[in-house]
Chains A and B, each alone.
Chain A
């Protein structure tokens, strides 16, 4: 009998851990805040003066303007990466597909880098073309370009990688696309201003330090919409695991499904990369753990990967910003330290041919 946890035991544990991790992430940091002060501070920040609370204004500010958006961004970015990893692995029918490894995140970084470096030129052209409307949609430029880069990279890797038939080709295509993206980013670095250069460096390491309420709102909406749409295709993704021909015989529009995945996945990855940079290996480790606990059925894999991804990234970020406090380790470095050996382990496990 294959070991599987039921939703009755898995879901409450995951939600409890998520709440615990969130509380921890709010309390721990350069400024340590007690549990009571976390609750009081958040209440004070939400409704200043509504309650007679004895809490320093500083706490309310740190919690409401820094830690809460950062916590939410961590949940969204981790959730997106976990969910996207699960879906990409379904499309490639391979557990090694991951936005970071196959170059999707690098593609997004090139898109985002384009806006950073050539932002003024772009703004000038688009501004002249769209007039005052442009001012309202300016914030949209960065995620839009990052998404376009991610979609292009996924499509390239999929086509070059023998459409999921060969693991080796997929990984090689991923290396090629990442290398190309790295070269383009390197070129951007030469023409970039100092500010743009700093931003780009931060991206390549991956960090949640840039969290703002705007970024939470944008990535949050995209995350919810894309994961809901992808979850609707969970049954079709299950059929696709049997093989393209088998899925077709089960009545699945395979081409349409893959197009939808490449586009939605690209939009979601592009959005998170544009705010947090390349955070690798979350999309690799998370779906693997969920498959071990709950099985490969995408109806459960997608939502659980989103939950577990959010949890892991939040915990990792809390560790990354408190071990060397007040200095901060980019969380991308931490996920790579844990994730890269895990990637090697999975590669070694491929010999067993059961994922």
Chain B
């Protein structure tokens, strides 16, 4: 298992009840998992706990080692960064970097030659469909464009991993600011990344997108895991009403089930 969460609880100081209670989940290579649930159910907090940015009770095993081990030394930090990436929901970079420079930050000052850096920057910027923005200033972009540039940066960061190493990619609402075409493109890209020895965990709000692109769906609500399984098993009006409190209707369109 690439990532194993056992008996995890998160409680914010002065909160009445814990945000997440005794959650256990594990994620493996090659899988795209959609993390779903109503607003404020703790999806982003779960990602932050996995990244060690939030205090929690329980145990997290990350890439074969206890999570806290990865932050013990500078060498371990760098090793983790090559195999573990997170795309945040918002970016607030206000300094006048060009998009190319932002993506280059993912490659760091490491050991790559200049030509190799350029090749990778171009490759991942094309993957995220932002190559045409390469010389624009990052802060001048729209929200969706910024998100795609950041995605190219995170992908270039993970390209530093040893080809034999397994990786983890966390995406916090990667489609929230995107137009229709790019929503599908980015999730197709997430699928392709998963096939390159990576466990992809994406927080999503669109159930239909999740059902179409994810191998597995995990639904959180009221501090607990409400459902965990394949999209075919989870896309049921009764279950969805239990999680979101909204009664939808399931229709079959062109071979896909869709919730309306």
| Interface residue ranges, A against B (CB under 8 Å) | 1-2, 93-95, 235, 238-239, 241-243, 245-246, 248-253, 291, 295-297, 353-355
Contact = CB atoms under 8 A, between A and B. Distances in A.
A164 to B, nearest CB: 11
Given A239-B108, A249-B84, A251-B77, 20 more contacts: A2-B98, A93-B95, A235-B108, A242-B102, A242-B105, A243-B88, A245-B51, A246-B88, A248-B51, A249-B51, A249-B85, A249-B86, A250-B108, A251-B78, A251-B108, A253-B74, A291-B96, A354-B95, A355-B95, A355-B96
Given A2-B135, A242-B105, A296 B86 contact: no
B91 interface: yes
Interface in B65-110: 74, 77-82, 84-86, 88, 91-98, 101-102, 105-106, 108-109
A241 B91 CA distance: 10
Given A2-B135, A250-B105, A245 B74 contact: no
Given A250-B106, A250-B108, A354-B137, A296 B97 contact: yes
B157 interface: yes
A297 B135 contact: no
27 contacts: A2-B98, A2-B137, A93-B95, A235-B108, A241-B95, A242-B102, A243-B92, A245-B51, A245-B53, A245-B88, A246-B91, A249-B51, A249-B81, A249-B157, A250-B108, A251-B78, A251-B108, A291-B95, A295-B96, A295-B97, A296-B96, A296-B97, A354-B96, A354-B140, A355-B94, A355-B95, A355-B96
Chain A interface mostly helix, strand, loop or mixed? loop
Contacts of A1: 135
Nearest to B136: A2
Contacts of B77: 251-253
Contacts of A297: 97, 101
Contacts of A251: 74, 77-82, 108
Nearest to B102: A242
Contact of A242 (B82, B93, B98, B137): B93
Contact of B105 (A2, A239, A248): A239
- Which of B93, B94, B97, B106: most chain A CB closer than 10 A? B94
Contacts of B139: 353-355
Interface residues of B, number: 35
Interface of B: 48, 51-53, 74, 77-82, 84-86, 88, 91-98, 101-102, 105-106, 108-109, 135-137, 139-140, 157
A254 B95 CA distance: 19
Nearest to A353: B94
A348 to B, nearest CB: 15
Nearest to A246: B88
Contacts of A250: 81, 105-106, 108, 157
Contact of B96 (A2, A93, A243): A2
| The 10 nearest A-B residue pairs measured at CB | A251-B81, A296-B95, A235-B109, A354-B139, A251-B78, A251-B77, A1-B135, A249-B86, A355-B95, A241-B95
A248 B53 contact: yes
Contacts of A248: 51-53
Contacts of B135: 1-2
